[in-house]
Structure 1
C-alpha cells in the first residue's frame, strides 16, 4: 500500500506553507510545549526535509511526530487549508514500518480486529475490576445509573460494563414504526460507557423507529489510524464496508453517537483508500447514510419538538465541541439544539479547544502532554458553573473525566444522548 505521503506530497505541503503563524496560537501541543519544532509549521518543515532526503526518520523525529494531538485546529485556521493532520498520520505509518509498534499497542490493535476475543477479555476485565480495584462511586444524585470509575494510581479510568452494549440487545428491535435505522456504537460505548447505547435505543423507542444492531461491526479503526498501524485499518475498514453493504439499503441511516467513529467512517476511509479506488468508491457510497446521532435526530426526526413538550431540568450544562465533530464534520449546532430544549446551556469561554485526548500514544507514552492540555479545559468547564459537561465523544469523555478528577471538580460528564433520554422520561 502506498503512503498518503505520496498523495499529500510532503514537499508540496511544506513549500505551500506561507509561515503566517496563524496555526501557532490554536495548536494544542505548542500550547503545552512551546517549541517551534512541535508546531504545525514545524511539523510541515520537517516533513518536507524528510521527503527531500535532508532528514532521517530517527527516533528523535519519531518522538516529534508522535507529539501532535491531531486535533485539526491548524487545518481549521490555515489560509491554505494544508492537510497537516493527514501528512502526520502518514509519516507515523512510515515510522511504524521502520521501528515497529509497541507490544501493548499490538495487543490492543489485535483485539480491535477480533471482536470475540475482545468480548472474552472484557468479561474477564469486569470480574477483575470488581475484585481487584477500589471502586469510587460518583455520589451526585443526578448520576445513579452511571458506570463506576476505576481509580488507579491517581488516574481516573473508565470502568468496564457488566455486559457490552452489542451483547445486551437482540439484533432486531421492533418499536412498531415504519422507519428503521442501524446503530454503530464504537468501542468505548460498547464496553465502557454502555448507557449511551441504551439511551439511544430508548430515544428511538419513543420515536417509534425500529433498530437494527449489527453484531459483526468492528472498531472503526481510528486508534490504529492515528498510531500508524495501517494493516489494522485496512482490515477493519474493509470488513466494516463489506458488512454495511449487506444491509445499507434496508436502513434509513447508520447513526453513530461518537464523533471520532463517525468522522473515521465518513471522512477518513476516503483518505485512507486513496490508492485503492475500488474500496474508496465503496466507502463513499455509504457516506450519505452515515450520521452522528444528534445530527440525524435533530435533522431527520421530530425529536426537538417532542423534547420541547417535556419539562425543563434545573441542571446547567456546558457543551464541549469534539475535534472530530465540529472541525471535521461541522456538527455543533445540532446537539445544542436538542439539549437546550430541556437544559440551560452555559457556554465555556472556548468550547472548541481540544480536550487533550490525542490518541493511544498520547494516553500512554506521552500522557504528561495530555494532562497539560487537559488542565485548562477542566478550569474552563469549572468556571461555567455547570453541573454537567456534555460531548458526543467517549474519547473526550475519558480525557475530560480525568482532567476534572485531577482538578477535584464535581462536574459530571454525560453524552448528549444520555441527557436527551433522561429528558424524555421527565
Structure 2
C-alpha cells in the first residue's frame, strides 16, 4: 500500500501557528544544547515546518539537514504550554525527506533485515561467527570496537556485543510457571531487537524474575521489530508493514494473557503511543483502533512488575543486598512519553544504594539511526555531559530500561574514561534474586 504524503494529511502550519514563541523549549532542547542555532531548536523547527507547508520553504538539502538534526527527545513537548507535538511533526516531515531524497542504502538494508526475522537471524549468527574480522573486544568489557570504518560506524566506535543465539531462538515458546498448582499470572514478552540480538542479560533476567514470581511466560516467536528505527527515519512503508504484521499476530493470542511486557523504553513507547499516532496521521482509523485495543495490555516491564506483582516485597524480604552505588538515567521514551520513572527506582532501592545524578532527565543523545550514523558528531557531543554527570555520582552502575541509551552511554563513558558499568534494571533485580547455587549460565 502506498501512503499519502505527510504534507497532504498533516497540517504542519496549524502547529506552527499555535506556537506562542515563548522560548521555554530552547534551554531543554538536546540539539540546541550542542548546536545553539535558532533553526535547530523546537521553535525554529516549527516555524520552518509552517513555512514549508505554505510553500515558502523548499525542501532542499539545507532544510533536510535541519529536520534530520532533531533528537526526538520530546523535551520540548514536556515544557510547551500548548503541548505542541514538535517531535511528531518532525517524524512526519522526515517521510517527505525520504520520499524526495531516498534513504541511504545501508539504512534500507537495515530496515529490510528488521522486516525479515529469519534473514536477520542468519546475518546476526554470521556476525557472531566472524565478528573478530571487523571487531575487537573492548578492554572494559562494554562491547566491541570497529577495526575499520563502515557506513554505519567509524573506526574505533563501540557497538554492542553479538549473541551466539538470539533470545527468541534460545527459549521455548511457552515457559510454564514454576509452581503450576498455584494461582498464576500469564504474560507474553516483546523483547526488542537489541535485547534479542545483543544484550543477552536483559531477556535472561526478565525470564528469571518471572520464574521467581511464578508467572507463566509466552514468547511470541513471530514478533517483528516495533518499527521505531524506520519511523524516526521516515521509512513509512517499513513502519506500516511491521506494525500491521505485529498487530495481526498479537490479536491472535493477546486475550489469553494478562499482559505483554517490553523491557525497552523505546520499543514500549513506539508500540503504546506511536503506533496509534502513525495510523491516525496516515488516515487509517481501523488500524488505529486495532492498535489501541492491542496496546491496552502492553506495558514496560518494570512498570508492570511494580504495579501488578509482589516483586518489591520479595526483593525487600529475600533479595540480596549490595554495596555498589546505582544511579538511574531516565530514558526519554520512558519518563516523557510514558510517565515511567519512579517504578524502576522503587524496585532497585531495596537492594542497591541509589544516588541521583544532577539531571537524570537529560537526554543521553542516542537520537535514532541517522543521528548514530551521518550525524554522529551531534550524538557524541550530547553524550559527553551525560557521561560527566554519571562520573560525578561515583556510581558503580548506571541503569536504564533502554538499550538505545545503553549503546549511547557506553560509548560516551568509554570516550570520557568513566568506569561506571551500564546495566538494565532487570539485570540488577535478577541478580538480587539469584540463588547462587542455581544461577543461569
With structure 1 as the length reference, what TM-score do the two structures score?
0.96
1:349 match: secondary structure? coil
Of 31, 34, 45 in structure 1, the residue corresponding to residue 33 of structure 2 is: 31
Q: Which residue of 2 aligns with 1:230?
A: 236
2:413 is the counterpart of 1:404 = yes
Deviation per residue, 1:127-151 (Å, 9 max, x gap): 1114543223536xxxxxxx74335
Deviation per residue, 1:3-61 (Å, 9 max, x gap): 55555411111111111000000000000000000000000000000011100101110
Distance 2:215 2:9 in 1: 42
CA contact (8 A) 1:392 1:416 kept: yes
Within-5 A mapping of 1:40-189 = 40-138=42-140, 148-152=143-147, 153-175=155-177, 176-177=179-180, 178-189=184-195
Distance 1:336 1:4 in 2: 39
2:296 match: secondary structure? helix
2:292 is the counterpart of 1:284 = yes
Q: Which residue of 1 aligns with 2:386?
A: 377
CA contact (8 A) 2:324 2:352 kept: yes
- Once the two structures are TM-superposed, the CA of residue 425 in structure 1 deviates from its matched residue by 1.4
Q: Which residue of 1 aligns with 2:17?
A: 15
2:137 match: secondary structure? coil
CA contact (8 A) 1:4 1:87 kept: no
2:226 is the counterpart of 1:220 = yes
CA contact (8 A) 2:31 2:71 kept: yes
Distance 2:247 2:345 in 1: 31
1:239 match: secondary structure? helix
Distance 2:145 2:122 in 1: 20
Within-5 A mapping of 1:410-425 = 410-425=419-434
Deviation per residue, 1:72-130 (Å, 9 max, x gap): 00000000000100000000001101111000000000001000000000000001114
The aligned length equals: 419
CA contact (8 A) 1:136 1:151 kept: no
Deviation per residue, 1:161-193 (Å, 9 max, x gap): 111110100000112342210000000000000
Within-5 A mapping of 1:382-397 = 382-397=391-406
Of 313, 318, 343 in structure 1, the residue corresponding to residue 322 of structure 2 is: 313
Deviation per residue, 1:232-261 (Å, 9 max, x gap): 000000000000000001111000000010
Q: Which residue of 2 aligns with 1:142?
A: none
Distance 2:407 2:143 in 1: 13
2:359 is the counterpart of 1:359 = no
CA contact (8 A) 2:145 2:156 kept: no
Q: Which residue of 2 aligns with 1:143?
A: none
Q: Which residue of 1 aligns with 2:150?
A: none
1:82 match: secondary structure? coil
Deviation per residue, 1:356-399 (Å, 9 max, x gap): 00000000000000000000000001000101000000000000
1:345 match: secondary structure? coil
Distance 2:138 2:61 in 1: 40
Q: Which residue of 1 aligns with 2:312?
A: 304
Q: Which runs of 5+ in 2 are unaligned?
A: 148-154, 436-441
Of 335, 346, 354 in structure 1, the residue corresponding to residue 344 of structure 2 is: 335
- Once the two structures are TM-superposed, the CA of residue 286 in structure 1 deviates from its matched residue by 1.4
1:167 match: secondary structure? helix
- Once the two structures are TM-superposed, the CA of residue 195 in structure 1 deviates from its matched residue by 1.0
- Once the two structures are TM-superposed, the CA of residue 312 in structure 1 deviates from its matched residue by 1.4
Change (3 A) 1:148 1:49: closer
- What do you get for the CA RMSD once the two structures are aligned? 1.2
Q: Which runs of 5+ in 1 are unaligned?
A: 140-146
Distance 1:133 1:2 in 2: 42
